[in-house]
Structure 1
Amino acid sequence: MKIYLFALVAGLLVGVIYSLLNVRSPAPPVIALVGLFGILVGEQIMPFAKTLWNKEPA
């Protein structure tokens, strides 16, 4: 979790610097970010499904 927080803070800092320099960020459009989010979620589905499948009934 610590690395994610560091990445977020670094991204925010770079965004502020870009804003102060009046430079447009080279970030991809929102639709590309949504696609990346889909990839990340899809990547986690199989381990989650395996956990549910292998879980012993109560």
Structure 2
Amino acid sequence: MKSYFVSLIVGLSVGLLYALLRVKSPAPPLVALAGLLGMVAGEAVLPWLRDTLLPLLLRR
């Protein structure tokens, strides 16, 4: 839970800094969200493969 809070605070801080400096976000929101989704999915795939498919393959 602490990591979510820290991530939220850092994200808000960067957003405020961008607003103060009048800098546009480096990526369009849709592209940034798609990238984050890819990161989360990629992070979840390896443990899923390890926990689900590897035991099935080792039984044979």
Unaligned runs of 5+ in 2: none
For residue 44 of structure 1, report the CA deviation from its aligned partner. Answer: 1.8
Give the TM-score of the pair, scaled to structure 1: 0.55
The CA RMSD over aligned residues, in Å, is: 2.7
1:9 is aligned to 9
Q: Distance in 1 between matches of 2:17 and 2:42?
A: 33
For residue 45 of structure 1, report the CA deviation from its aligned partner. Answer: 0.9
Give the TM-score of the pair, scaled to structure 2: 0.54
Higher RCO (Cα < 8 Å, 6 or more apart): 1
Q: Is 2:31 the counterpart of 1:31?
A: yes
Matched positions, count: 54
1:45 is aligned to 45
In terms of fraction of residues, the more helix-rich structure is 2
Match of 2:27, SS state, is coil
1:39 to 1:26, Cα distance in 2 relative to 1, 3 A: same
Match of 2:23, SS state, is coil
For residue 24 of structure 1, report the CA deviation from its aligned partner. Answer: 2.1
Unaligned runs of 5+ in 1: none
Q: Distance in 2 between matches of 1:17 and 1:11?
A: 10
